Amino acid sequence: MRSLQILVVDDDDADALMISEALENADTDASVDRVADGREALDYLRREGAYPGASRPDLILLDLNMPRMDGRETLAAIKTDDRLKAIPVIILTTSGAAPDIVASYQHRANAYVTKPFGLDEFETTVRQINRFYREVATLPADREA
């Protein structure tokens, strides 16, 4: 099994911490980096600004509701950038609103997951996402593409 490089894009410190802890508790080799909004995410992905040495993630967990540049705008920017669009993006958000779900898939999200409210359910969800992308899915071989 391969380890995953995961970028968490979420302004909520508690949610970001729960994601990291869920992956640590799952005994995986996942490496998790985190940014707090879409502008930081694009800087990270493009290795600009404060992130010239950033690693290309295998997977992006993207919240929708963030300041400055929200997840909707970020998803659209990622999926229209030829250098980034092959990176799987999972929307992981509290919103279960139908317009958010439809818009996310229209902007080529790879999956839409509503954050569970309970800690155990949240950890289980994160572990399932990790397991799927680590053990089942085939990801692009060239992380630097």
pLDDT tens, 37-87? 999 999 999 999 999 999 999 999 999 988 889 999 999 999 999 999 999
User: What pLDDT digit, counting tens, does each position of 92-131 carry?
Assistant: 999 899 999 999 999 999 999 999 888 889 889 998 998 8
Please state, for a pLDDT cut of 70, what percent of the chain lies above it. 94
Q: Report pTM.
A: 0.92
Give 1's pLDDT tier (boundaries 50, 70, 90): low
Exposure b/e, 105-138, CB count within 10 A at least 16 = b: eebebbebeebeeeeeebbebbbebbeebbeeee
Query: What is the model's pLDDT at position 3?
Result: 77
* CATH H-level superfamily of 5-133: Response regulator (3.40.50.2300)
Answer yes or no: is pLDDT of 145 > 50.
Answer: no
